[in-house]
Amino acid sequence: MGAVAEDELDSLFEDWRPALRSLDQRGVVEQVVMQPAGTPVEPGPQPNDEQRAAIDAILANPDAFGAFLLDGITGSGKTEVYLHAIADCLARCKQALVLVPEIGLTPQTLARFRARLGVPVYALHSGLSDGERARTWAACLRGQARVVVGTRSAVFLPLPDAGLIVVDEEHDGSYKQLDGIRYHARDFALYRGHALGVPVVLGSATPSMESLRNARTGRYTHLHLRKRAGAAKPPAVRVIDIRKRALDAGLSNDLIDSIARTLEAGGQVLVFKNRRGYAPVLLCHDCGWTAECPRCDASMTVHAKGRRLQCHHCGASKRAPDACPDCGGLALQPQGAGTEKLEETLAARFPQVPVVRIDKGTTRNRDALAGHLETLGDGPGILIGTQMLAKGHDLPGLTLVAVVGIDEGLFSADFRAPEKLAQLLIQVSGRAGRAEQAGEVVLQTHHPEHPLLHTLLTGGYSLFADEELALREDAHFPPFAYIAMFRAEARDMDAANTFLTEARAQLQATPTGTLLTAHGPLPAPMPRRAGFQRAQLIVSTNARPALHAALDAALPAIRELPEARKVRWSLDVDPVDLY
């Protein structure tokens, strides 16, 4: 079943323990008989042909498991397809579960579901108290909750009358839980759909390589939405080559002119920059000193217009020094630009419009996000954001999307980096021109000839995916191989390495051990974090059963290793991040 071993299932429900305790105190929950749904408050648009075909395919066999990949470009109306399938589910007195990424669960999304379906829609996310979670759990168990929209952990809700499971933005990294028991909500949704005998719909404009491969091999039914729904057209994309150009906070004059033109025409602008804070580095111009985190192999990020330093890896935070700690000079300069600096620069350039920044620093929860979008309003304005903004937001007034500072992503060592970058670029670009107004995307780069950009610009995500899958197959990388990663950290690197070497020996000694290829132990890409030395061991194989057999056979012994007591270690099957 993929990411989780059967015997781990129990602990997966750990998340739910406090909620269930509070449920127990309130007495037993009783089942209610489900009534067919009421009439929708708001009728939706007539599905177009592609949407109709997708809906029909999903509903062709509603009482049996089937996996569907709804592969539809941004703005193609995937949500409409879900809504029709859910409405059908309600008409058959069944329950529907919709999983959305962490930041995708906005009041906007819920309002749309409520208005269209004509039944209460239950929301489940990490911001709820244990009591609220318990109420949702009970409502599901009783069959009172007909439609639940929730993030990752909603995949464990009880569904006595299950009829449909939807995983929106199935490629999204937030479906993978990284702390404690590691599970992938998408994989688990498929497992549940199979157990419950209901269709599972995975939707995305930028499907994961894993899901695309499953669609190609016929394990999933591949459904396509190739054009934007309604009147909207895909945005025009323009690349600005910034080599040798003058830049202000990383923005070229060409881009500033485009922003000015868009604002004059009454449009809204999204400036996307995946680096929060004021500047990524604080440098002494006299001696070359830079502010490093004392506990990590990383620079500290400058925040609060230069007054504070913060480590984005361990969270350490302190006041920025007034003078260079090395040479005593007063020439400390923030280098580069993060979202805070962009906000300052754009607010100074365009004082007549609202400039709103959306990142971890300003937007801790959904209410904050709603507040920011309200500040922006419907008129001309500028939105600055990190990847938080890349997901599923429908901003009808948005006509220009400017992508700046993606260049570091083009040269990452992680084999998944191109996939993640392509997804991000397509998703961010997809925010432009979703209503009547035509959209424009401007991409600023020092590497206009980079193959990744070239492929995306000429063939879109599907051409990228073809090429990426071919590369992965040649290199024996997932989804053509299955990998597991052991991470170990300790005060000294030797302890971490010794443990991993022992773990490798245990794995290789199992009956399927010869089918595994081991890489490592090697230092992690960031060898020191929060004061710990970190190493990793990757094992890979081209047959999943061999991997699981080896893990099952070796894990008890690995847990008992004397070396295991000297390190903090974890096992990640199908890791999404290789650090």
Q: Residue 296 binds which one of Zn ion, ligand ATP, none, with CB within 5 to 8 A depending on kind? A: Zn ion
Q: Residue 377 binds which one of Zn ion, ligand ATP, none, with CB within 5 to 8 A depending on kind? A: none
Give the one residue of 381, 385, 392, 439 binding ligand ATP; rule: CB under 6 A: 392
Angle at CA 5, nearest 5°, toward 219 and 553?
A: 115
Handedness of CA 183, 184, 189, 192 (dihedral sign): negative
C-beta of 54 vs 488, nearer to ligand ATP: 54
290 is a site residue for ligand ATP (CB under 6 A) = no
Is 93 among the annotated ligand-binding positions?
A: no
C-beta of 341 vs 434, nearer to ligand ATP: 434
**Number of residues in contact with ligand ATP under rule CB under 6 A:** 20
Q: Which stretch binds ligand ATP (CB under 6 A): 1-9, 44-52, 370-378, 448-456?
A: 44-52
Q: Residue 521 binds which one of ligand ATP, Zn ion, none, with CB within 5 to 8 A depending on kind? A: none
Which residues share a beta bridge with 168? 203
437 is a site residue for ligand ATP (CB under 6 A) = no
Rounded (to 5) percent helix, strand, coil in the chain: 40, 25, 40
Q: Residue 313 binds which one of ligand ATP, Zn ion, none, with CB within 5 to 8 A depending on kind? A: Zn ion
Q: In 10 A of CB 364, how many CB atoms?
A: 10
**Which residue from 125, 124, 131, 116 is spatially nearest to 85, judged by alpha carbons?**
116
Is 287 among the annotated ligand-binding positions?
A: yes
Give the one residue of 66, 72, 334, 479 binding ligand ATP; rule: CB under 6 A: 72
Q: Which stretch binds ligand ATP (CB under 6 A): 69-77, 175-183, 242-250, 565-573?
A: 69-77
Q: Which stretch binds ligand ATP (CB under 6 A): 74-82, 246-254, 315-323, 490-498?
A: 74-82
| CA separation for the pair 419, 460 (Å, rounded) | 13
Give the one residue of 45, 294, 329, 511 binding ligand ATP; rule: CB under 6 A: 45
User: Cα 227 to the chain's mean position, in Å?
Assistant: 24
C-beta of 201 vs 549, nearer to ligand ATP: 201
DSSP labels, 63-115: TS-EEEEEEE-TTS-HHHHHHHHHHHHHHTT-EEEEE--GGG--HHHHHHHHH
89 is a site residue for Zn ion (CB under 5 A) = no
Q: Which two tokens stand for residue 22?
A: 């509070």
Q: Residue 455 binds which one of ligand ATP, Zn ion, none, with CB within 5 to 8 A depending on kind? A: none
x/- string (CB under 5 A) for Zn ion, residues 300-339?
-----------x-xx-x-----------------------
CB of 465 to Zn ion, least distance (A): 36
Q: Residue 314 binds which one of ligand ATP, Zn ion, none, with CB within 5 to 8 A depending on kind? A: Zn ion
Q: Residue 45 binds which one of Zn ion, ligand ATP, none, with CB within 5 to 8 A depending on kind? A: ligand ATP
108 is a site residue for ligand ATP (CB under 6 A) = no
x/- string (CB under 6 A) for ligand ATP, residues 341-380?
----------------------------------------
| CA separation for the pair 458, 464 (Å, rounded) | 9
Q: Residue 311 binds which one of ligand ATP, Zn ion, none, with CB within 5 to 8 A depending on kind? A: Zn ion
431 is a site residue for Zn ion (CB under 5 A) = no
| CA separation for the pair 37, 89 (Å, rounded) | 9
Give the one residue of 155, 205, 282, 283 binding ligand ATP; rule: CB under 6 A: 205
CB of 431 to ligand ATP, least distance (A): 8
For the chain, the maximum distance between any two Cα atoms, rounded to a whole number of angstroms, is 76
| CA separation for the pair 381, 535 (Å, rounded) | 46
C-beta of 419 vs 572, nearer to ligand ATP: 419
**C-beta pairs of 407-414 under 8 Å, 24+ apart in sequence:** 407/445, 407/446, 407/447, 409/274, 410/445, 410/447, 410/450, 410/452, 410/453, 413/525, 414/525, 414/577, 414/578, 414/579
| CA separation for the pair 366, 393 (Å, rounded) | 12
C-alpha distance from residue 316 to each of 237, 301, 319, 337, 408 (Å)? 39, 10, 11, 20, 24
48 is a site residue for ligand ATP (CB under 6 A) = yes
Alpha helical stretches, state H, 173-252: 185-196, 209-216
Are 488 and 559 within 8 A, CB to CB? no
460 is a site residue for ligand ATP (CB under 6 A) = no
**Which residue from 15, 79, 107, 19 is spatially nearest to 365, judged by alpha carbons?**
107
**Count H helices, E strands: the chain?**
15, 24
x/- string (CB under 5 A) for Zn ion, residues 264-303?
-----------------------------x-xx-------
**Which residues lie near ligand ATP (CB under 6 A)?**
45-48, 51, 72, 74-80, 205, 229-230, 392, 394, 430, 434
